Amino acid sequence: MIVIVFFLLTGIRVVKQYERKIVFTLGKYSGILNPWLRFIVPIFQKTNTVDIREKAVDVPSQEAMTRDNISCSINAVIYYRVKEEQVDRSIINVKNLDYAMTQFAQTTMRNIVWKFELDELLAKRDEASAEIKKIVDEKSESRWIDVMSVEIKDINIPDDLKRTIGKQAEAEREKRAKIITSEWEVLSAKNLQQAAEMLATTPWALHLRTLQSINDISSDQSNTTIRMIPIEVMNAIQGINKKLWEK
């Protein structure tokens, strides 16, 4: 009796909510065990467990060549899950699903990277990821896989190329700085021109501006001595000087 009870207990299987168990009877597929307490016939039946949760599988770093013939190293992560209604085929038709997905993603990455120049690949990483996902998703339909996302994690380039890109970026920043400075100088010159025209049409405005400048200087805590001469005296001196030159 004890042997029979032990024999029956060995056939009990607990299937978790996120699992499905594929049953093989004498080596032949015979069904799927859904979540709950299940029973199989020991010795004659075996089970393989399939996790139907979304998986994140790291795609190893892969050497690739861009369209402008620059070698780079790229790695990614692929998110996928086994379709619940076809979990049996993921066991029967594919020996190592994770390995198969990473190898296929590596091949796809090389083909996609070739379509981009290095600057485009660095700036449009999301677009490259979308292209990889599209191809992997189309090809994995035959493997009963639902690809959720493919994300490029890192793009490594040679150190000498990094220094070159850094110099290029620095030159670009200096270029923008000079453009902004020149635009500011042009605007400042236009404002000065307008101010000069306004002061020329209103003589007293220049006199008031001079007094304001003197007031600003006097507020400064320094030992500077300012001697002021009325503008009328200067006009008189200029008039006398002009008459002497005429004689």
Answer for the pair 153, 77: CB distance below 8 angstroms, yes or no: yes
Which structural domain, as residue segments, surrounds residue 18?
Answer: 2-51
Q: Are residues 44 and 60 in the same domain?
A: no
Q: Are residues 108 and 85 in the same domain?
A: yes
Average pLDDT, the chain: 80
CATH at 119? 3.30.479.30
Q: Are residues 62 and 11 in the same domain?
A: no
Q: Is residue 73 one of the residues assigned to a domain?
A: yes
Helix H segments across the chain? 2-9, 87-92, 97-113, 118-123, 125-140, 159-201, 203-218, 231-246
Q: Are residues 129 and 35 in the same domain?
A: no
Over the stretch 89-118, which tens digit does the pLDDT of each residue have?
888 888 888 888 888 888 888 888 888 888
Tally of structural domains, the chain? 2
Whole-prediction pTM value?
0.60
Q: Are residues 62 and 128 in the same domain?
A: yes
